Structure 1
């Protein structure tokens, strides 16, 4: 008989990791996936045996949810978020409703721990699946694309170098300023920044560079081969020449434009009038970055399920009767989650 429970020991967690690695390894091409996955699991500041929900057939782990508790900032107020990650079932046990039981158990844990939000990042392969658990896509996947094909060289002395743990306070202050007006973002402390650098060691597809002006560190840049994933500067710097320098250094050989994954709340927007740029958003209620407001009690009877509509705004209104927190959500805001706040 299958049992749903929290992990009891490190052997349970190791079995869960092996299962998740088998399930998800087939869907990625990163040759360092195993090392990266171990870092995400075991070096995360929130790592704890009690943060793994398991489905067990006797002593065998056949299903898992990894819980990732985080403090987030919502509309400039600190809240408690429970991340739902690595949801998977052993191939031999699929189609038996086990994942449903795992998800309902995660609701129970969230309520017991008194969290405000549950948050998960769904793969395209499970589009629509999490709607039935009252999760809805919230991100706008905002991007700006700056045309720089005729860009001239920067007039400033701007340089770049690899990340340096001695500059944690600079990175943190730059992030806090640049993303100050983001509606939803993680609260990053020193442990979290060290965790980011640990993950980067095994991510050959990502690059982190410190930005210097006249040899003084003023911010950082996180990017892939095709786009900028995070960009943060300290207060007080005109960003036009810095953006030009980034393009010339890392993107000009293969692109006529610079793509940056930020929304209209990012401080760079104050300088976009100097550029030819386009802004794009994409909203998907049935997948991607999905949010659920944690009710103060479970409401799972069939009558409610039958009446329930797959609409995020209606979710907020419905759950508002169970949680005053729901009234703080403003759907008119652009909700985009910075890259390393995703788990």
Structure 2
């Protein structure tokens, strides 16, 4: 599809009319995700969640997550670990406006988050000399110039989010040491120390650090409810013969609490959570497991895993409305779910040809 045609239809100020779907989309509702085609070409793609058309922005490396800069028409897309570049995209023109390189002896872990005023970008990175995690700080008002970093008490920081107070960052610390010279090999399999870390975004001061029940449960992804509850998704660094909890919640001042589920439900997720999303008004936490081919739905208020929805190789997840989610997969499909109290029904499905969606997705 011609880029100008897509942008005119999908990013116009008017809402998009959806014929024959029984659904209606709000104004400016566009999904952004990394993707790959069958020839192995990587790209950033923008699409209406209800249509099988998208605009493609080619890139040279595989990408991971996307972050929206508040108060602007910019998003930043991060290269996958071990990545060295992040791309600034104008989502109205669907063009890359800047390519930012990490500083020496640092690589990206594929995630970042903006300050509420859109001035600073915080990224999770690896110090290649110490094999220790750092938060890189970039000034978006100065062309994304790197202005500093904070050393973290641990290895393998992955997803990072801003707490509702706008002052506290929360980081999923995977606890895994890696180095590009060793590929994606875990260098410390016997000394993993995953944790959930809270820090002040102005000073870098560590406010709290919480560990969970088993060091082989690498804390990787998270989302935050309106009340400040942090939902975390984990990836088990071992054989999947133990029914260990892969999803938990945390409230400041309390221990991390595992979601209540049957052993066979944990085993069905095959040791791997790819993305987490909280729908506060729908009383639902949703997580994806591409290795288990399942979307797991949890009632937030009770902490019980209520239901599964089957979707092959599902990974990306993005809230569309207070009770609606888009979930993507490696087969080019996007499934729209309507959720309530840990239950969901599919209300729409669309297939993108020659498209393998990557692990994360953002709605703007």
Q: Give the structure-1-normalised TM-score.
A: 0.30
- The structure with higher relative contact order (CA 8 Å, sep 6+) is 1
Normalised to the residue count of structure 2, the TM-score between the two structures is 0.29
Higher strand share: 2
- Larger Rg: 1 or 2? 1
